[in-house]
Amino acid sequence: MRIKISTIVFTLFLGSCAFNQKLSLFDTCQFPINSPYPGGVLSIDIKNIDFDSNTKLNTEGLASSICKYSLYQSKIFIPIPLDFKSEKVEVKQGGALLNSNKIFDKNYRESRITISNNDYVSPGEELQPRIRREYRLSQEAKNTYTPIKLKDWAMIEPAKGQISSEFGVRRFINNQPRNRHSGMDIAAPEGSEVSAPLSGEIIIASNFFYKGNVIYINHGGGLVSSYSHLSQIKIKNGDKVKKGDLIGLIGQTGRVTGPHLHWEVYLMGVAINPEIFLNGSI
Ligand SMILES: [Zn+2]
């Protein structure tokens, strides 16, 4: 009986590894920049190995995305979850150790905010079905993967403004500990333009309870981004957008303390710091 259970667990583990690793073809693989800390992306240069879509890497249960830019040149991108505890990640192929990588600590600051509208602090029972439905839609959206040939993942900033809250901060709302900040906040006056930082397809253009007016863009290859609290949405579901296209206007819809853009970036379903896709422009 003991053998049977461990066989099932092992099969499930293998299954989830295979599901969480993808290979995409790119022109260049400069972004995301190597940022081996929780909330960043470990980027590993691989030369002289011809990866293909059957390549199976063991990345200690973490999701990974192979960015292949020539026959024998690739990068393995491993998004490191914010709650990751280990100090290293080993990459194996067929049992052989490909390399071992150190994961650094990052000290994220604390942020304490006060929200007076109690609906947004402890939403009532009648709001729960809506919140659960929108949570499910967000989960599906951020795990979207489309296998397309990609140029690169260099982004431009989606809005001009001041970073009012960085990615990863430990948040307290009315002194209660909440989830880590899964995006970057850019504060700007209501009505300021929000543009697509990278080309992609709109997979959600809707109004959510916490996020207010919200857009999700699928950039392909397991990369998805979202834009919350907009005053207006300027595109619709299914639209294709190019880098720099207007998608909405900054606002203060949903759970906010003032007008700002909440910008999230997900790689293989893992929330990561949007800054690592920018060439020092923020
Ligand atoms: Zn935010």
CA of 175 to the centre of ligand 1 (A): 17
- Ion ligand 1: residue ranges with CB closer than 5 A: 183, 185, 262
CA of 19 to the centre of ligand 1 (A): 29
Residue 244 makes CB contacts below 8 A (sequence gap 6+) with 156, 195, 196
Query: What is the C-alpha to C-alpha distance for residues 266 and 121, in angstroms, rounded to an integer?
Result: 25
CA of 40 to the centre of ligand 1 (A): 17
Read off the pLDDT of residues 110-159 as tens digits, 9 standing for 90 and up.
Answer: 988 887 888 888 889 999 999 999 999 999 999 999 988 889 999 999 99
Read off the pLDDT of residues 163-216 as tens digits, 9 standing for 90 and up.
Answer: 999 999 998 888 888 889 999 999 999 999 999 999 999 999 999 999 999 999
According to the 3-state scheme, what is the secondary structure of 198-211? Answer: CCEEEEEEEEECCC
Lowest mean pLDDT among 5-9, 241-245, 254-258: 5-9
Residue 6 makes CB contacts below 8 A (sequence gap 6+) with none
Superfamily classification of domain 110-277: Glucose Permease (Domain IIA) (2.70.70.10)
CA of 214 to the centre of ligand 1 (A): 12
CA of 181 to the centre of ligand 1 (A): 6
Q: CA angle 108-109-112, nearest 5°? A: 135
DSSP state of 150: B
Mean of the pLDDT values across residues 61-83?
Answer: 94
Q: Does domain 2-102 have CATH number 2.60.40?
A: yes
The mean of the pLDDT values for the chain is: 90
CA of 187 to the centre of ligand 1 (A): 10
pLDDT for residue 282: 45
Domain boundaries, the chain: 2-102, 110-277
User: If you write DSSP's letter for every residue of 178-232 in order, what string do you get?
Assistant: -----SEEEE--TT-EEE-SS-EEEEEEEEETTTEEEEEEEEETTEEEEEEEEEE
pTM: 0.89
